[in-house]
Structure 1
Amino acid sequence: MAYQKRMSFLIGLDSAIVLFSIYIGYFILHPYMNIYSPSTLLISSIALLASHHFFAAIYRLYHKAWEYASVRELIAIAKAVTFSISATTIVQFAAFQDVYIRVLLVTWMLHILLIGGSRFSWRVYRDRYIRKHHDERKRTMIVGAGSGGSMVVRQLLTNEAEFEPILFVDDDPNKLRLQIHGITVEGTTRNIPLLVKEHEIDNIIIAIPSLKRQQINHIYEQCAKTDAKAQIMPLIEDVITGKLSVSSLRDVAVEDLLGRDPIELDIESIAENITGKTVLVTGAGGSIGSEICRQISIFKPNKLVLVGHGENSIYQIDMEMRNSHGHLIEIVPVIADVQDRERMFDVLNTYRPDVVYHAAAHKHVPLMEYNPKEAVKNNIFGTKNTAEAAAEAGVKRFVLVSTDKAVNPTNVMGATKRVAEMVIQQLDRESETTFTAVRFGNVLGSRGSVIPLFKKQIEAGGPVTVTHEDMTRYFMTIPEASRLVIQSSALARGGEIFVLDMGEPVKIVDLARNLIKLSGYTEDEIGIEFSGLRPGEKMFEELLNENEVHPKQVFPKIHIGKAGVVEGEVLWRFISSLPSKDTTLLKEQLIEVANTKEDLKMVMKEAISF
């Protein structure tokens, strides 16, 4: 009903404007041209009225939200009016063998002025009305006077948002003192602290979607010098696709500051290995495994097999995949333990995947120091079971998710992952399957990582516990790590250990300070305590030791390590001496080579020195 009333109102308004315009045109020019004729005026009026409504329908002038009117809408008005005047010109010539050019020009100008004015006046009214309530809104600085910043300001001005845009800052000197939607570019990002104080800014919105991570970090450093809250606009693609609106702002996250610029994937080579194929992911319910599933689904495999030990986690990723891609991909959830050799052979032989991503593992360093037998069973025997089952099932590619802790390992978890790498390197030589490993650093926000722990400590009021003030780690985001794994599977030729160029390591204490600030607190309010190194921890992590470094990148930000290999006979003899399981009853066997955790670690360290 409201829509019909709106349509009727606009049609009636336009009809009045059309008739008024042509009558005024004739009235103004008649004394000088003696062109008045009732039949001429009547036929011209009818022709102009009919043609206007025809072209207004074509350019959808009655369907636009005029409170958001801009240049695009003005162009539509100009086209509709111009074509309607042109049609009237043709009618005049056909009816009277003459064209009253001056009258039609005056009519065209009045038509543009009144039709455009009637539409844009509504937007001006709304803008004025909203601005009357500026005292209740947060004074906001927009960082970035480009397309992103323009979209944000326009959205804030045309909606009853809680933010009132006050000024822009932009590092482009050509934009200084320019106005965008009435908002002035007052300075550069280096002036943020001064401008926040001078204009009493409450909020800062970072509106540059193309920013690199280092640039975001620089801007945030300036924002952190103020008491204003920093937020960031959503990605342009999310706005365009309708997933989010421009005003769906989010707080700056630690991932924005510590994450690195996204890896550009070789879409064609990945699609060749995944599209239309069967893909199996172990540990599919975990942080990395579930993200690998999400990334793989983009390439539309024929079948995606989700393997995991945890019933709840597999249920969650299964439901997520079915909701997002179930109409395109056959999703198969499988509850299985990689330590169960018979079960893994059964799963691989049943589904016979083209590609396997092995993300199942125990990864928590201190926990594995207390439970070394479990680390051995899951990380070594689980990998061996899955890899050998893949080889027997004729899998084309097998990718092991490894860790930087496998380099010169000082802990059980790292040692087991290094042995797992050796296993897949040896199997690559013994089978037709292409085996490869991917090694990367800490993943931001993954289960058991430091960031969720810090967030809980901050929510509890502190203090945040850091093991040592000099401890550093490499970081990447979960999607980045998953893309690396997928890209590596396309690059693999067999036996490689791929390593991401992780950039500069980050001090854990700096990470803690950033999280405290991002949470809206000061370091004095929350506090930071140093608890000392935990069992098995290193002060500094490595991605490759000095004997493994291969300086040339095989793909942007991806290296191939030159990790040494162990003779197959030595490797299998060593593994056979480690704790194993009965393949049918899944019962743990006692450690044959050592009775204590320390002896087990010693034996493992000796093995990985080959």
Structure 2
Amino acid sequence: MQLPRSAKRAISVIIDIVALGFALTLALLLSRSQVGTVEMSTWFSVYIWLLVGSIAVFVKLGLYRAVVRYVSVRAFMVVLTGVILSTLLLWALVSSFDVYLPATGIVNFGLTALLLIGGCRFLMRELYHRLVSRKKIAVMIYGAGSAGRQLAQALNNGEEFAPVAFVDDDTTLQRAMLLGIPVIDPSQVKQTVAEHNVERVLLALPSASRAVRKQILESLENLNVRVLTVPGMADMVNGEMAIDQLQDVRIEDLLGRDPVDPDPALMQQHIRDKVVLVTGAGGSIGSELCRQILLQRPKALVLYEISEFGLYAIERELSETLTRLKLGPIEIYPIIGTVQRRNRIEAVMKAFNVQTVYHAAAYKHVPLVEYNMVEGVRNNVFGTWHTAEAAIAANVELFVLISTDKAVRPTNVMGTTKRIAELVLQGIAQRNGNTTRFCMVRFGNVLGSSGSVVPLFKQQIEQGGPVTVTHPEITRYFMTIPEAAQLVIQAGTMGDSGAVFVLDMGEPVKIVDMARKMIHLSGLEVRSELHPDGDIEIVYSGLRPGEKLYEELLIGENVVDCDHPRICQAHEHAMSWEQVAVLLEQLNSACQNFQIERLRELLLNAPTGYQPSEDSINDLIWSKMQKRD
């Protein structure tokens, strides 16, 4: 049962009265040979005045406002000041009452009072923490640097975690004690986890590279403990998160690849003091492009989005960012519209005198586009064409298409429509009289995007499983959304009109390996035939319509390096505008008349390398109509 604050203060006052009385008595006893015979009533008067004066001093210094469980060096300095003043008071009282107490006696009083008053508080704090720690979850902090020590202090003052050890590879810190917590070598982690029943390992390495973090995570993977991490240094410096706001391990740490810092000159070239338009501004890539563009201080940013909520969310976020970072007078224009209406997008570009366009609007979910073929072609192919022609009509300087690795030797409708969109822009770039420069940037999956497996796996793990993976051999390229957006902006400054750029996505990752790591780092075990007592089962659901095991980024090997180490230019087959125009007319006719079989035939015959993963047509409306017939 918790005592009221007034009762706790009363107990502290009583303890201090006893401590002062004991200190004075001890000082008199140690000096009795020099004190001589003095009336007890006189010493009693000294004692009463000493207590009243000392307690008054302690109250004035705020000693009784300090919470014992949080007693620190600062509180000890208050105690020291109070005891020194109490000792001086004793000296004054001895002089006033004309009694003799040698200097050694006064010093003995001061030292004893300091020991008792200060010691009692630290003892009570230690007893409290030991009592509370029994109810806390035992954790280990990986990293004994500044972030680790701050985290340990925050946890000691909290009521959830009790740090039992620091882990650090710095040999100068090992075997030392920090804040009463031992620092151990990484080789001792397994033993310490077992001895102290550690349930969490907290990574306090906000400045460590991803390569280092990946190495540490791999060493912790088989310990059956949940791994959490402190926020990144940027989040803490910006004040967006506190050090004790622990997070799950970010999946990008498992990839182990550090991003290359963007080149400021390339980032600003087509954005600073220009009017920029982003289609699909509310989507995963589109919204991150908007964030990165805003930081480069454009003259105005036009958000073009068909989703009302998506547009509202990104416009509100950017407006708040503009105010918080004081980026200056940048106009943000939220425009509702579809890229499938050329007159609408052209009117927007002309109205705002748009100079740079990033075309991120697309239907990209593979199975959904398989089920809705006409809309996939309309949005991805014709939406790109209409936006490109609108850009030419509005004298836009630069047009950048966000493409995908699924456009390379596609096995699905989505990838095929994106490859045709690339061919459309390449064909337009060959036409005479164009002042707009077109380029395409192709990359793979981005972590955390809508439809990404990572948030799905996290949700399935939180729900107790199973984790669903389509195939044991399926692999994908991954990149963080901010890095992808920065590379897209930089790639747009390179090459001639019609160029296709490919981002270096690093090494492909097996999806099932990623699932296992996420399960292990959540402190759980994979349940299988060999481990029937595990926590989370991995279930293989089979490849979805249009899905393939391996993604590629290049068609052929004709690649040229660019100024940026993570960007290269692909030289691939292109169609003339005359050929593109014929294909567009045929696709439009098939879509207009809902001729799904004809549409599939056109996609198969287009020079995209389309090889469907299955023979059947998956369009849902067409399938229903076939059954009725």
Structure 1 length as normaliser, TM-score? Answer: 0.75
Does the alignment pair 1:549 with 2:546? no
In the alignment, the residues of structure 2 paired with residue 596 and residue 196 of structure 1 have an alpha-carbon distance, to the nearest angstrom, of 64
Per-residue CA deviation, residues 94-150 of structure 1 (Å, 9 max, x unaligned), is xxxxxxxxxxxxxxxxxxxx99x9999989975775455221222221111223223
Q: What residue number does 2:197 align with? A: 200
Unaligned runs of 5+ in 1: 1-63, 78-113, 582-587
Give, in angstroms, the shift of residue 236 of structure 1. 2.1
3-state SS, counterpart of residue 592 of structure 2: coil
Q: Check the 8 A contact 1:355/1:395 in 2, yes or no.
A: yes
The residue aligned with 2:247 is: 250
Residues in 2 aligned to 1:493 and 1:605: alpha-carbon distance in whole angstroms:
22
1:515 paired residue number: 518
Q: CA deviation at 1:373?
A: 2.0
Partner in structure 1 of residue 451 of structure 2: 448
What residue in structure 2 maps to residue 283 of structure 1? 280
Q: Hey, what's the Cα distance between the residues in 2 that align with 1:499 and 1:174?
A: 45
Deviation at 1:181, TM superposition (A): 2.9
Q: Structure 1 pair 127/395, CA: closer, same or farther in 2 (3 Å)?
A: farther
Please, which moves more after superposition, 295-304 or 277-286? 295-304
The corresponding residue for 2:346 is 345
Equivalent in the alignment of 1:488: 491
**Deviation (angstroms), 1:506:** 0.8
Give the whole-Å Cα distance in 1 for the aligned partners of 2:356 and 2:495: 12
**Aligned partners of 1:241 and 1:452: how far apart in 2?**
25
The residue identity in structure 2 corresponding to 1:476 is M
Q: Does 1:538 align with 2:548?
A: yes
Helix, strand or coil at the partner of 2:569: strand
User: What does residue 606 of structure 2 align with?
Assistant: 604
* 3-state SS in 2 of match to 1:599: helix
How far apart, in 2, do the equivalents of 1:68 and 1:241 lie?
Answer: 29
CA distance in 1, matches of 2:212, 2:457: 25
Paired AA for residue 372 in structure 2? N
- 1:516 to 1:565, Cα distance in 2 relative to 1, 3 A: same
Query: Is 1:570 aligned with 2:573?
Result: no
Larger radius of gyration: 2
> 2:13 aligns to what?
none
Matched, 1:388 2:389: yes
**Aligned-residue offset at 1:332:** 0.9
More deviation, 199-208/220-229: 220-229
Question: Is the CA contact 2:469–2:511 (under 8 Å) kept in the aligned structure 1?
Answer: yes
Deviations 1:429-472 (A, max 9, x none): 44222221111111222112223333444455433332211111
Is the CA contact 1:193–1:225 (under 8 Å) kept in the aligned structure 2? no
SS, match of residue 529 in structure 1? strand
Q: Tell me, in whole angstroms, the C-alpha distance in 1 between the residues paired with 2:223 and 2:288.
A: 36
- In structure 2, relative to structure 1, the CA distance for the partners of 1:402 and 1:119 (3 Å cut) is farther
1:123–1:379 distance in 2 versus 1, CA, 3 Å: farther
CA–CA separation in structure 1 for the residues paired with 2:420 and 2:188: 53
Aligned-pair CA distance for 1:580: 6.0
For 2:541, the aligned partner's letter is S
Q: Deviations over 1:58-98 (max 9, x none)?
A: xxxxxx99969779x99xx9xxxxxxxxxxxxxxxxxxxxx
SS for the counterpart of 1:384 is helix
Cα shift at 1:473: 0.6
Tell me which of the two structures has the higher relative contact order, counting C-alpha pairs closer than 8 angstroms and 6 or more residues apart.
2
Which deviates further from its counterpart, 299-308 or 148-157? Answer: 148-157
1:224 alignment partner in structure 2? 221
Q: What corresponds to 1:34 in structure 2?
A: none
Matched, 1:154 2:162: no
Distance 1:134 1:563, change over 3 A: same
Contact 1:255 1:477 (8 Å CA) reproduced: yes
Q: CA deviation at 1:173?
A: 3.1
Describe the SS at the equivalent of 1:136: coil
1:557–1:173: structure 2 CA closer, same or farther, 3 Å change rule?
Answer: farther
| Matched-pair contact (CA < 8 Å) for 2:411–2:610 | no
The answer to whether the Cα contact below 8 Å between 1:554 and 1:560 also exists between their aligned partners in 2 is no
Q: CA deviation at 1:354?
A: 2.0
Q: Structure 1: how far apart are the matches of 2:414 and 2:518? A: 27
Give me the identity figure in percent.
44
CA 163–468 in structure 1, closer or farther in 2 if over 3 Å, else same: same
Deviation at 1:601, TM superposition (A): 2.7
Match of 1:164 in 2: 162
8 A contact 1:356–1:399 mirrored in 2: yes
Indicate the SS of the match to 1:156. Answer: helix
Alignment-mate amino acid for residue 500 of structure 2: I
With over 3 angstroms needed to count, the CA separation of the structure-2 counterparts of 1:539 and 1:555, relative to structure 1, is same
AA matched with 1:167: A
Residue pair 2:71, 2:125 contacting (<8 A) in 1 also: no
Is 1:377–1:580's contact at 8 Å kept on the other side of the alignment? no
SS in 1 for 2:426: helix
- The answer to whether the 8 Å contact 1:548/1:562 transfers is yes
Could you tell me how far apart the structure 1 residues matched to 2:498 and 2:235 are?
39
Deviations 1:293-316 (A, max 9, x none): 122222222211110111121122
Structure 2 SS opposite 1:133: helix
Aligned residues: 517
Cα distance between partner residues in 2 of 1:485 and 1:68: 53
Deviation of 1:214 after TM superposition, in Å, equals 3.3
Residue 539 (structure 2) aligns with? 529
The answer to whether the 8 A contact 2:457-2:515 is kept is: yes
- 1:436 aligns with one of 430, 435, 439: 439
Amino acid of the structure 1 residue aligned with 2:513: D
Which letter does structure 1 place at the counterpart of 2:582? R
Q: CA deviation at 1:541?
A: 0.6
Contact 1:278–1:302 (CA under 8 A) maintained in structure 2: yes
Q: Tell me the distance in 2 between the aligned counterparts of 1:417 and 1:597.
A: 15
Code of the aligned partner of 1:228:
V
User: Secondary structure in 1 aligned to 2:438?
Assistant: strand
TM-score (norm 2): 0.73
RMSD: 4.1
Residue 562 of structure 1, CA deviation = 2.2
Aligned partners of 1:259 and 1:520: how far apart in 2? 20
C-alpha spacing 1:260/1:204, structure 2 compared with 1 (3 Å): same
Aligned residue number for residue 558 of structure 1: 567
| Structure-1 residue corresponding to 2:141 | 142
Check whether the contact 2:430–2:577 (CA below 8 A) recurs between aligned residues: no
CA contact (8 A) 1:130 1:160 kept: no
Counterpart CA distance in 1 for 2:404 and 2:256 is 17
**Conservation of the 8 A alpha-carbon contact between 1:434 and 1:492:** no
Q: Please give the alpha-carbon distance, in whole angstroms, between the structure 2 residues aligned to 1:445 and 1:214.
A: 20
Q: What pairs with 1:18-417 in structure 2 (closer than 5 Å)?
A: 129-157=128-156, 159-188=157-186, 190-258=187-255, 260-325=257-322, 328=328, 329-417=330-418
Q: Partner amino acid for 1:384?
A: W
| CA deviation string 1:201-246 (max 9, x = no partner) | 2221111112232332332233232232211011223223322221
CA contact (8 A) 2:214 2:256 kept: no
Unaligned runs of 5+ in 2: 1-65, 81-112, 528-534, 612-629
8 Å CA contact retained: 1:579, 1:591: no
SS in 1 for 2:261: coil
Structure 2 residue identity aligned to 1:351 = F
Change (3 A) 1:286 1:70: farther
Structure-1 residue corresponding to 2:106: none
Check conservation: 2:224, 2:525, Cα contact below 8 A.
no
Deviation string, structure 1 residues 317-345 (Cα, Å, up to 9, x no partner): 12222222267432211111101111111
Q: Compared with structure 1, are the counterparts of its residues 136 and 441 closer, same or farther at alpha carbon in structure 2 (3 Å cutoff)?
A: same
Opposite residue 536 of structure 2, the aligned amino acid is I
Taking the aligned partners of 1:526 and 1:243, their CA distance within structure 2 comes to 33
Q: Indicate conservation of the 8 Å contact 1:263/1:483, yes or no.
A: no
